[in-house]
Amino acid sequence: MRASQDHMNKVKDTIVKAASEGFKEQGYGGLGINALAERAGLTSGAFYGHFASKDQAFQAVVSKGMHDYAATINSIIENNGEDWAQELINFYLGGAHVEDVACGCAVPALSVDVARASDDTKAIYTEQIREIATAISRTKNQKSSQDALALMSLLAGSVMIARSLNDPKLSKELLAGAHRWAIQISER
């Protein structure tokens, strides 16, 4: 008896969620198929029933992560009016987001691996970055997609570097400086 499509979709979603957390925590090279399957509570055979390769799973993770990033930014813009930038900056550079690598934004966690990924994966990432920059640049207090891209880069890069430091004081200083510059970019 074959599993229902609903069941298959739930299993695939479980794999993508587990793979997302795994890739964010350990990087693309840090996990093999067996580890990805184990994280999802499955066998490697079950993994292959949903994805032909680790690359295909990574592409699904990047796609979902970038869509989640876009949805979060769009929600912040819609729910905060002219104060959206302050809200985004406070959230993105806040301790909870910086410290939660596994469940945080895909951009600082996966960008290095995307840079080494297939052209198809890069295309997904690129299109989402373009769409997010366009959405930000349409807000009342943004003038150009260059400013939007600069803001996104400053936020993601700052989180990535802060996560890499083993000196909490330096990390806090970095995030405070990034916060100041992000506000300036958002007010241009």
The domain ranges of the chain are: 55-186
Which pLDDT value is given to residue 141? 60
> If 0-12 CB within 10 Å is exposed, 13-18 middle and 19+ buried, where does residue 122 land?
middle
Helix residue ranges, H only, the chain: 5-26, 33-39, 44-48, 54-80, 84-92, 95-99, 106-115, 119-137, 145-164, 168-186
Quick: pLDDT tens for 99-144: 999 999 999 999 999 999 999 999 999 999 999 999 888 886 656 8
What are 58's two structure tokens? 């990574």
Residue 114: closest CA among 14, 18, 27, 17: 27
Which pLDDT value is given to residue 174? 97
Regarding the domain with residue range 55-186, which homologous superfamily does it belong to in the CATH classification? Answer: Tetracycline Repressor, domain 2 (1.10.357.10)
Which pLDDT value is given to residue 187? 82
Query: What number is the average pLDDT over the span 58-87?
Result: 94
Whether 146 shows a pLDDT value over 80: the answer reads yes
b/e sequence 79-88, b meaning 16+ C-beta within 10 Å? eeeeebbbeb
DSSP 3-state of 182 = helix
What are 114's two structure tokens? 């995307």
CB 66 within 8 A of CB 121: no
pLDDT bracket for residue 65 (50, 70, 90): very high
> What is the chain's Cα-based Rg?
18
Distance CA 160, CA 100 (A): 12
CB 110 within 8 A of CB 101: no
- Measured from the Cβ of residue 142, the count of other Cβ atoms closer than 10 Å reads 22
Which pLDDT value is given to residue 1? 54
